[in-house]
Amino acid sequence: MKSKGMVYLVGAGPGDPGLITVKGRECVQKAEVIVYDRLAGGGILAHARKDAELIYVGKGPERHTLRQEEINSLLVEKASSGKTVTRLKGGDPFVFGRGGEEAEALHRAGLIFEIVPGITSAVAVPAYAGIPVTHRGIASGFSVITGNEDPEKEGSDIDWPGLARVKGTLVFLMGMSNLPSIAAQLIKNGKPGETPVAVIMWGTRTSQRTLVANLDNVARRAEEEGFMNPSVILVGGVVALRETLNWFEKKPLFGCRVLVTRSREQASMLSGAIEELGGEAVEFPTIKIEEPEDYGPLDRAIGAADYRWIIFTSANGVVYFFNRMFRLGKDIRELKGVSICAIGPKTREALEGFGIRVEYVPSEYRAEEIAAGLKGKIAPGERVLLPRADIARKALAEMLVKEGAHVDEVVAYRTVAGGGGREMVRSSLEKKEIDYITFTSSSTVKNFVGLLGEKDPAGLIDGARVACIGPVTAETARNTGIGVDIEARSYTIDGLVEAILEDRSRGMV
């Protein structure tokens, strides 16, 4: 008989995927089942196992996917079957998260559970809006109050007269539908109408919006400007500090949603750079990196002893080449006397990570410039090895052969179509919710079009600006009917990000 499972009740933080705790992320990584809310998905779920079962139980202002009792039963059912379950909740599970109710249900069923606290939106969301909940000389404390008290209750448990007298900061969570009555109750019980109020919607995300008003007009202003849940409402003098301390909304890519089409294994560098600059990276891995179908050619090349040069065209090629070499029982001493060329700084870094000294890095990454730079370095008749992707362009090899070199191209890894999140991406493009689309290789372009099944890709992406890592990728995009708005001058991820920043600074988005 299978033993009972385990449930982790995890606070995912307020929305920014980087704000989940280390322990919370570990619980996501090891879970067989993840039960998550609408405020706890996004980039956090990217850490899940590939075989994890993902169950959405989100509750919106107008509808619930599952009632709380059904969520409790679901957790009990999955854990009772022996599964390791992570219940992923926005903010902290014990701050108006109903985590206590879920823990009670698990206890009644005799199941083991752990509580993993999260960063509550009551503190984090104001911080991202430049508002500290306490500040010397202004507020020596803060109170966190539900803005969504159970409407079926007789009377209220909220001490409105007491709250109106509090000199510290008042923080109301999920209270947009009740904002008029919240403001009215505070004023009725003595809070001055000119008290500053901030309403922060989708806090800590690139879609964050902040409204600053007074207590006597905040409800009207919020309705006029379309504020709704999820929002945090702050009442108190600390709101005035936003004018000085606002930092997140001043980041250069704040408010931008950038589609990242790289493989999931490689997306983190570009996604991280976008998020560091205040943007939101929407990952749509159009390619996957996999092992060769037949290792024979690569194994024979690794076993050969007469190559004068090995040219690595990507960090992927480096990783797969050396992993295979080590699996065959060989080490870097096999490369004694072999000169190494690395195309691009990241390829060089990957080689240096294996303790390999790189002899030549071309300043330009197009085949013509690479071949020209190697002219005179590779003597006629010398053997050259190119371990690369199965779909790599033949131009470099052909040019080296023309110069008299004997070139062996071998498949070190395969690039195959990805496609996770296709419908979400299509919907976002149709709704004009994507500001930039990034392409880092020709294969990302081709697979992007193929996965979306578009006969008119330009029509689908109309409204988004297209950024390509270099001229070869840009040419592929144009050949598929996609107009290119941005072309990086330096054919690297850093160069691509810099080009997007320049475009944004010109007010193009």
Q: Is 174 a catalytic residue?
A: yes
Q: Is 83 a catalytic residue?
A: no
Whether omega before 285 lies within 30 degrees of 0, making that bond cis, reads no
| DSSP states along 352-402 | HHTTPPP-B--SS-SHHHHHHHHBTTB-TT-EEEEEEETT--SHHHHHHHH
Alpha-carbon distance of 397 to 385, in angstroms, equals 9
Alpha-carbon distance of 459 to 452, in angstroms, equals 12
Alpha-carbon distance of 17 to 11, in angstroms, equals 11
212 touches 197 (CB < 8 A): yes
Alpha-carbon distance of 232 to 133, in angstroms, equals 12
**Selected catalytic residue, list 37, 92, 435, 485:** 37
**Selected catalytic residue, list 6, 16, 59, 435:** 59
Alpha-carbon distance of 246 to 274, in angstroms, equals 19
36 touches 45 (CB < 8 A): yes
| Closest C-alpha to 437, from 428, 332, 297 | 428
Q: Is 37 a catalytic residue?
A: yes
**Selected catalytic residue, list 6, 89, 92, 174:** 174
Alpha-carbon distance of 375 to 373, in angstroms, equals 5
Q: Which two tokens stand for residue 28?
A: 């996501």
The C-alpha angle 243, 227, 57, rounded to 5 degrees, equals 120
* Helix, strand or coil, per DSSP, at residue 321: helix
| Residues identified as active-site | 37, 59, 174
